[in-house]
Amino acid sequence: MAIPPSTKLLGILAMNVMKSLIKPKAIGPGDVIGLVSPSGPVTHMDRFEGGIASLREVGFNVVLGKNALKKHYHMAGSDEERSEDINEMFKDPNVKGIVTTTGGYSSSRILDLIDYDLIKRNPKVFVGISDITVLLNAIHEKTGLVTFHGPYLVYGICGMSDYVKRNLMKVVATPSEIGNLEQLTEWESLKGGNASGRLLGGNSSSVRNLIGTEYEPDWNGSILFLEAFMKEPHYLDREFTHFRQCGIFNKINGLVVGKLNKCIENEFKDDPMDLREMILEQCKGYNFPIIYGVDFGHACENLTLPVGIEVHMDTHTKKLNINQSATI
């Protein structure tokens, strides 16, 4: 039976409303930050305690998820325990923002256990990096909430540098236009052009885990940002092949590559593939611009990047500009 045009229109409108952009409230000194461990366990208590001290120095109060320090194999507790902490932090009206403690390998296991309707009704700042990329993009895809690719507790917030603190607070604590993202190191133009689109992405392996699932972001018209750590060039070449063959490169408007630290060839060290050449080869035939070496990733000082917010990239000036706020 054919669906009446009016019913189709209502369905389209409902989908647009469901996925409309939601900005969380800005957080600032005096607010309560909830700490959760959605993936791996906390293994360095000195850095854990140092991260809490850094948050308190900025002026935040801290509350710990009841399961955040648990350990279950390579995970911080069972799937139910880890997802419960996330749901409880979004539900708690006293918690104004949520910071992840560390990364790991198991964020994907809890995607089916997160209460996305709850998150949509209680939007909050949610910050993480590495394997937490899975959650950042899935939550944005399911709810429209802007999430934040930035430092987590034991890496980046512990011993937080002025650069990291300045950029974190500018993005999550200031409901005003972000402007040009601050360059700490030299960024490179790999492929010329200008482009605008929603920021989507993060750790390349974690992004790859979302492909083909209901949590995969809508890449159409986006700016894809990717970083990797300790992945040999031949492994990254395989990942980029997967992105290309899945059609992601047909949909994006631009590519921003962060730090590829310790991505050194060992298995084929007699004839190592150059990372820049690999990226250009994989992106051959596409018109989107590419900026390389941007300040985000592992073992480096990180910008805080709002997932879901539109960014403009200009390879001539090697700048990334966000002409709006990421919070309200």
Q: What is the DSSP string of 172-213?
A: HS--S--EEPPPSS--EEEE--EEEEEEEEEEHHHHHHHTTS
CA atoms within 13 A on the CB side of 30: 1
Handedness of CA 234, 311, 319, 287 (dihedral sign): positive
- Residue 297 sits in which domain range? 179-322
Number of neighbouring beta carbons within 10 Å of residue 215: 21
Indicate whether 190 and 156 sit together in one domain: no
Indicate whether 116 and 65 sit together in one domain: yes
Stated pTM of the model: 0.94
Backbone region of residue 226 per phi and psi (left: phi > 0; alpha: psi in -120 to 50; beta: other values)? beta
In a domain, 208, yes or no: yes
Domain boundary residue, one of 121, 147, 172: 172
Domain boundary residue, one of 137, 172, 207: 172
In a domain, 16, yes or no: no
CA 299 to chain centre: 16
**Banded pLDDT at 19 (limits 50, 70, 90):** low
Task: Indicate whether 11 pLDDT > 50.
Answer: no
Q: Which residue has the higher pLDDT, 271 or 143?
A: 143
Q: What is the pLDDT of residue 231?
A: 97
Question: What is the C-alpha to C-alpha distance for residues 156 and 132, in angstroms, rounded to an integer?
Answer: 14
Q: What is the CATH number of the domain that holds 292?
A: 3.50.30.60
Q: How many domains does the chain have?
A: 2
Given strand 147-149, what is the order of strands in its sheet? 61-64, 32-36, 95-100, 125-128, 147-149, 305-307
Residues 80-91 have a mean pLDDT of 98
Q: What is the pLDDT of residue 133?
A: 98
Question: What is the C-alpha to C-alpha distance for residues 311 and 251, in angstroms, rounded to an integer?
Answer: 16
Residues 33-83: tens digit of each pLDDT:
999 999 999 999 999 999 999 999 999 999 999 999 999 999 999 999 999
Q: What is the pLDDT of residue 183?
A: 98
| Rounded percentage of the chain residues whose pLDDT exceeds 90 | 94
| Rounded percentage of the chain residues whose pLDDT exceeds 70 | 94
Indicate whether 57 and 135 sit together in one domain: yes
Q: What is the pLDDT of residue 105?
A: 98
Q: What is the pLDDT of residue 312?
A: 98
Q: What is the pLDDT of residue 1?
A: 40
Domain boundary residue, one of 143, 172, 201: 172
Q: What is the pLDDT of residue 2?
A: 44
Indicate whether 145 and 213 sit together in one domain: no
**Banded pLDDT at 153 (limits 50, 70, 90):** very high
Which of 18-27, 104-113, 163-172 is predicted with the least confidence, judged by mean pLDDT? 18-27
Task: Indicate whether 285 pLDDT > 60.
Answer: yes
Q: What is the CATH number of the domain that holds 154?
A: 3.40.50.10740
Task: Indicate whether 28 pLDDT > 80.
Answer: yes
Residues 204-259: tens digit of each pLDDT:
999 999 999 999 999 999 999 999 999 999 999 999 999 999 999 999 999 999 99
